[in-house]
Structure 1
Amino acid sequence: MPSRWLHERKTEHYYNKAKAEGYRSRASYKLKQLNDEYKFFEEAKWVLDLGAAPGGWLQVASESIEGGLVLGVDLKEIDDLYMENVETIVGDVRDPEVQRTILNRFRGEKADVVLSDMAQNVMGVWEVDDLRQIHLARMALSIADRLLKDDGWMIVKVFQGKEHEAYIEEMRVMFEKVFIAKPLASRKGSAEVYVVAKNLRKDRVLPAELRGEIKTQPLSEEELEEQAPLPGENLPDYGEPEEYGKKKP
């Protein structure tokens, strides 16, 4: 039986499993598998989820920490999850007012874990989709520079394209430990991989082009519509990705 068919059946398994177990997205299992490997929720108290709609990662984070708070930020409203340790903010995380609200919700502390499964609508043009995804990943990195504890974790989705190696090098400039992983719940034919990073470097320097990611004013309605992140569940098939081995910290 063809291996591709078997993998597609397994991927469909995660879709059905999510529906049966009450998760809002198959992507929930990607986060579960990443946490099984790297244990980033083990001692976490404050978790920030960027582009959190529809809420699948919020659910997993909520179940994985004791006490504390999981805070999701998205440009669109997220339906209530009815979980005591989950709150959501509708807004642009680049807005300084939203960042202040985040710190207030975390009782003046920074996040132990910053998550980003953000993705925009894919256009089917690989070079364009790659650049758009890297833009979101860089935006998440600029947020982590401001809102993540020095010994915290960052987990961010990227596509394996022309810019992703440069982005990984940027992550290595910012973090002491950087790992690349592709969860089993990811479609094998998709180009997505996850960068898992720990411990911000004390001598880190955020690349100059990323410093402009923080806006001084809230986005306009037109900008909100243009930049609304989506869950990223329907990625086109760009062929087999390069294989990465997982490494534990």
Structure 2
Amino acid sequence: MAKQTSGRGQRELRVKVKSARGRKLSSTLWLERQLNDPYVKRATAEGYRGRAAFKILEIDEKFRFLVPGARVVDLGCAPGGWCQVAVKRVNAMGERKDKRVGTVLGIDLQEMEAIPGTTLYQQDFMEDDADIKVKEWLGGRADVVMSDMAASSSGHKQTDHLRIIALCETAAYFAFDVLEEGGTFVAKVLAGGAEGDLQRLLKQKFDKVHHIKPPSSRSDSSEKFVVATGFRG
């Protein structure tokens, strides 16, 4: 089915995926959505490893924490789109000679293909000495700790919400151990935001706590992001 694109007089073809034996309807619909998602297409065209790259781009456009010279830790960084964005914005490869050179450190449980400008570690950030290792690797404290992690879906909305809030809370405690004063914490939550104890905790530790749903986050997704700025140390 073709649709007219606005103001260009061109026609954009929508990909229709046929059902196949052994493939669930939900899988067919997911594949069809991926093939027709403009952010997926943009990610491919612009060399990002996934559409999630645009989420951190849009969040940073609003809050401006990925600045040249910043030291960034990306928790659960696979497949690496957030790291790719951070590398460019903090000048981790030193391409802008008139700007400070930043550092991007990615942590994930799984082994990953190298990302230019990023130092990757196969590490569980929940281990007791993970914060000590990260500060050693950075040669100091971080300016930004960010996380696009999500717990595996159980199919039960309330359970999934509790799981992701718990994961976000664990990432927050990690951030408290490694962030520089004035630093920023960014993490995925679900609709309703960072609730209860986590919300109060973040407000105690940071000057400002915001919630945002970036335009690239799918409208049918319940995800939001908490952005806590001005870490008090």
TM range, normalised to the smaller chain? Answer: 0.7 to 0.9
RMSD (Å), alpha carbons? 2.1
Shift of 1:79: 1.1
Moved more, 134-143 or 173-182: 173-182
Superposition map of 1:31-70 within 5 A? 31-66=56-91, 67-70=101-104
Shift of 1:43: 4.7
Residue number among 198, 207, 212 corresponding to 2:229 in the alignment: 198
For residue 190 of structure 1, give the secondary structure of its aligned residue in structure 2: coil
Distance 2:65 2:144 in 1: 7
- Asked if 1:165 is matched to 2:195, the reply is yes
CA contact (8 A) 1:44 1:113 kept: no
Q: Distance in 1 between matches of 2:109 and 2:129?
A: 14
Residue in structure 2 matching 1:149, options 180, 186, 190: 180
Structure 1 window deviating more from structure 2 (167-176 vs 152-161): it is 167-176
SS at match of 1:140: helix
Name the CA distance, whole Å, in 1 between partners of 2:131 and 2:202. 21
1:122 maps to which residue? 153
Question: In 2, distance between residues paired with 1:48 and 1:143?
Answer: 11
Aligned to 1:241: none
- Secondary structure at the residue paired with 2:113? coil
Cα pair distance change 1:157/1:164, threshold 3 Å: same
1:26 deviates by 0.5
Measure, in 1, the Cα distance between the counterparts of 2:82 and 2:43.
Answer: 12
1:1-249 equivalences in 2 (<5 Å): 12-66=37-91, 67-81=101-115, 83=116, 85-107=117-139, 109-161=140-192, 164-166=194-196, 167-202=198-233
In 1: Cα distance, 2:68 partner to 2:200 partner: 27
Residues 99 and 43 (structure 1), Cα distance of their counterparts in 2 relative to 1, 3 Å cut: same
Deviations 1:78-116 (A, max 9, x none): 1112x1x31111111122443222112211x11000001
Structure showing greater Rg: 2
Equivalent residue, structure 2, for 1:238: none
Aligned AA (2:89): S
1:197-245 per-position Cα deviation (integer Å, ceiling 9, x unaligned):
112235xxxxxxxxxxxxxxxxxxxxxxxxxxxxxxxxxxxxxxxxxxx
Pair 1:23–1:159, CA change in 2 (3 A) = same
Q: C-alpha displacement at 1:170, in angstroms?
A: 2.4
Q: Secondary structure at the match of 2:110?
A: coil
Higher relative contact order (CA 8 A, sep 6+): 1
Equivalent position SS for 2:164: helix
Deviation of 1:164 after TM superposition, in Å, equals: 3.4
Conserved in 2, the CA contact under 8 Å of 1:44 and 1:112?
Answer: no
**Cα pair 2:212 2:225 within 8 Å, conserved:** yes
Work out the CA distance in 2 between the residues paired with 1:159 and 1:44.
Answer: 31
**TM-score with structure 2 length normalisation?**
0.77
CA offset at residue 42 of structure 1?
A: 2.0
Identity of aligned residues (%): 35
Distance in 2 between residues matched to 1:172 and 1:12, nearest whole Å: 36
Structure 1 unaligned segments of length 5 or more: list them.
2-7, 203-249
Which amino acid letter does the alignment assign opposite residue 104 of structure 1?
Answer: E
TM-score, with length taken from structure 1 = 0.72
Of stretches 91-100 and 64-73 in structure 1, the one that deviates more from structure 2 is 91-100
Unaligned 5+ residue runs, structure 2?
4-32, 92-100
Q: Find the aligned partners of 1:96 and 1:132 in 2 and give their Cα distance.
A: 20
Aligned to 2:195, what secondary structure does the other structure show?
Answer: helix
